[in-house]
Amino acid sequence: MRDENQQLHFDTRAIHAGQAPEPRTGAISVPIFQTSTYVQRGPGEHTGYEYSRTQNPTREALEQCLASLEGGTHGIVYSSGMAAISTVMTLLKSGDHVICSDDVYGGTYRVFETVFRRYGLEYTYVNTSDLEEIAAAAGPATKMLWVESPTNPLLKITDLAAAAELCRSRQWVFVVDNTFASPYFQQPLALGADVALHSMTKYIGGHADAVGGCVVTANEQIAERLRFTQNAAGACLGPFDCWVFLRGLKTLGLRMRQHEANAQKVAVFLEQHPRVRRVIYPGLPSHPHHQLANRQMTGFGGIVSFYLAGDVEAARRVCQATRLFQCAESLGGVESLIEHPGIMTHASIPEIIRREKGLTDDLIRLSVGIEDAEDLIDDLDTALRSA
Ligand code: P1T
C-alpha cells in the first residue's frame, strides 16, 4: 500500500495520505466506522471487511497516513505505545538476545525485564551512541537492536545510519523508537532502520487526549508477521481513537515547528540560569551529539531536560511551583508539562541503575508545548527562583 502521494511534501501528506473523500457522501473527514462487525451476503461472502479486530476503514486511513509520513509501506496501529513495543517483541523467540539503548522510557525497560525475560528473551543495555559498545555486547543469539534516539529522558543520540549498517551486516532487526523526534523531524527507515515505532500518545496525537502506538516498516516479512500477531493477539486501536490520531496528524508539522522554536528558547534561557546546573537539548551546541543530531534530524524536538543546582526536594518544589508547565507524565501535547523522571516516568528502573545512568534526583524533564515562549520562560524563572 505505498502511497501514490509519496512525492508530495510532508505537511500535504499529513492531511491527505490515506484520506480520500468518502465515496458515498463525499465526507471530507474520514468517517468513524464505529462497528465491530460487517454484514456478509452469505457465509464468507464479505466486502473485504469481516471483523474490526482484523480490518476497519478508519484504522486503515490512519495506517496509510502513518506509512506515508514515515516513508514505509505498512503502518500498524495499536492500543498504546507499549502494545506496539510488546507486539514487536513477538518477532523474536525464546533464547534470542536484544541489544537496547541504556536510556529508554521506564515502561520499555519494565516490559523487557519483567515480562519478556520470563519468556526467555535476553536484554543487554548499552550506550548505543557508541557503536563499539553495541558491537561488544553482541553474541551469537543477538537478533535485534533497539534504539531510542533521542532517548527518554537524557536525549542521547545514536548514529542511525551507522547502526543500520552494523545491523545489516549481522542480520539483526533494527528497531527505532522515534517517539521523541516524531516522523516530522526524523525518518529512521530512510536511514536504514527496519522498524520505526511511536507512542502516538505523544506528538502524533499532540493534544494529550488519546493513548495509542504504531509501527511502520517497509519490510514485507516483518509487516506480515506483525499484522498476523495483531489479529491473533488482539492489541488493536478503536475507530474513534484512530480518528483522533488522524486529526492530530494534520497539524503535526505546524506543531513540531512551534515545539522546537519554543524548546530552543527555553533551553537557551535555562542554560544561563543560576539555579540550573546543566541543560540537555540536542539543539544546543553544548549537547555532546549536537552535530550528529543536526545531520540526521531536520529539527531537535520539543523535549528539554535539565539538572537543577539542588536536591530532590528542590526538584519537587520546582515541579510544583510552575503554573503553565503542569506536573504530569507523558509529553508531546500542545500544553507544556514538567516531570521528575526518577519519581515518575522512570521509577520502574532500579535506583542504583538510574543513578549510574544519570537519572539523578536533580533531573527534571520538560515537554515544551506551543504556548507563547515568553510566558513559558517567565513561568520557569518564577518557579526556579521560588524553589
Ligand atoms: O504510553 P504509551 O503510549 O504506551 O507509550 C510508551 C512509550 C514508548 N516509547 C517512548 C519513547 C515513550 O516515551 C513512551 C511513553 N512515555 C511516557 C509516558 C513518558 O512520560 O515518558
- CATH label of the domain that carries residue 316: 3.90.1150.10
Grid cell digits, residue 373: 515562549
Out of 202, 255, 354, 365, the active site residue is 202
* 123: annotated active-site residue: no
* 143: annotated active-site residue: no
Q: Is 170 exposed, middle or buried (0-12, 13-18, 19+ CB in 10 A)?
A: middle
The Cα 381–Cα 324 span in angstroms is 12
Decide if 218 contacts 71 (C-beta within 8 A).
Answer: yes
Decide if 18 contacts 68 (C-beta within 8 A).
Answer: yes
pLDDT for 2:
44
Together in a domain, 217 and 257:
no
Grid cell digits, residue 210: 488519546
Dihedral sign computed on CA atoms, order 261, 149, 284, 296: negative
pLDDT for 1:
40
Domain assignment present for residue 125? The answer is yes
pLDDT for 304:
98
The Cα 376–Cα 325 span in angstroms is 7
Q: Is 4 exposed, middle or buried (0-12, 13-18, 19+ CB in 10 A)?
A: exposed
Helix (H) or strand (E) holding 279: strand 276-280
Q: Alpha helices, DSSP H only, in 46-159?
A: 57-70, 81-89, 106-114, 131-137
327 phi/psi in degrees, rounded to 5:
-80, 105
The Cα 139–Cα 203 span in angstroms is 35
Decide if 145 contacts 134 (C-beta within 8 A).
Answer: yes
Together in a domain, 293 and 225:
no
Domain assignment present for residue 123? The answer is yes
Give, using CA atoms, the residue closest to atom 13 of ligand 1: 105
Ligand 1 centre to CA of 361 (Å) is 20
The response to whether residue 332 sits with its C-beta less than 6 Å from ligand 1 reads no
pLDDT for 4:
54
Pocket mutation for ligand 1, best pick of 105, 109, 197 (most atoms within 8 Å of C-beta):
105
Number of domains in the chain: 2
Ligand 1 centre to CA of 258 (Å) is 21
Out of 3, 103, 177, 362, the active site residue is 177
Q: How far is CA 314 from CA 241, 362, 363, 364, in A?
A: 38, 8, 10, 11
Together in a domain, 167 and 18:
yes
Domain assignment present for residue 72? The answer is yes
Over the chain (387 residues), the average pLDDT of each successive run of 10 is: 68 98 96 98 97 97 98 98 98 98 97 98 98 98 98 98 98 98 98 98 98 98 97 96 98 98 98 98 98 98 96 95 98 98 95 94 97 98 95
The response to whether residue 331 sits with its C-beta less than 6 Å from ligand 1 reads yes
Ligand 1 centre to CA of 211 (Å) is 10
Q: Is 39 left (phi over 0), alpha (psi -120 to 50) or beta?
A: beta
Decide if 199 contacts 331 (C-beta within 8 A).
Answer: no
Helix (H) or strand (E) holding 22: none
Together in a domain, 101 and 205:
yes
Pocket mutation for ligand 1, best pick of 152, 156, 348, 366 (most atoms within 8 Å of C-beta):
152
* 194: annotated active-site residue: no
The Cα 168–Cα 174 span in angstroms is 8
Q: Which of these three, 249, 274, 291, is where a domain ends?
A: 249
Decide if 308 contacts 318 (C-beta within 8 A).
Answer: yes
ω before 350 within 30° of 0 (cis)?
A: no
Q: Which of these three, 249, 268, 291, is where a domain ends?
A: 249
pLDDT for 3:
46
pLDDT for 172:
98
The Cα 86–Cα 338 span in angstroms is 27
How does DSSP classify residue 42? B
Together in a domain, 242 and 262:
no
Dihedral sign computed on CA atoms, order 161, 162, 164, 169: positive
Give, using CA atoms, the residue closest to atom 3 of ligand 1: 81
Q: Which of these three, 249, 283, 301, is where a domain ends?
A: 249
The bridge status of strand 213-217 relative to strand 276-280 is unpaired
pLDDT for 7:
86
Decide if 175 contacts 144 (C-beta within 8 A).
Answer: yes
Task: Determine the length of the chain.
Answer: 387
Together in a domain, 205 and 312:
no
Give, using CA atoms, the residue closest to atom 1 of ligand 1: 81
Q: Output the pTM of the full model.
A: 0.97
Q: What is the CATH number of the domain that holds 171?
A: 3.40.640.10
Domain assignment present for residue 1? The answer is no
CA 227 vs. chain centroid, Å, equals 20
Structural domain including 302 reads 253-386
* 13: annotated active-site residue: no
Together in a domain, 204 and 280:
no
The bridge status of strand 195-199 relative to strand 213-217 is antiparallel
Together in a domain, 340 and 217:
no
Grid cell digits, residue 94: 525464546
Give, using CA atoms, the residue closest to atom 19 of ligand 1: 330
Together in a domain, 204 and 273:
no
Domain assignment present for residue 310? The answer is yes
The response to whether residue 109 sits with its C-beta less than 6 Å from ligand 1 reads no
Nearest atom in ligand 1 to the alpha carbon of residue 85 is: 8
Together in a domain, 108 and 190:
yes
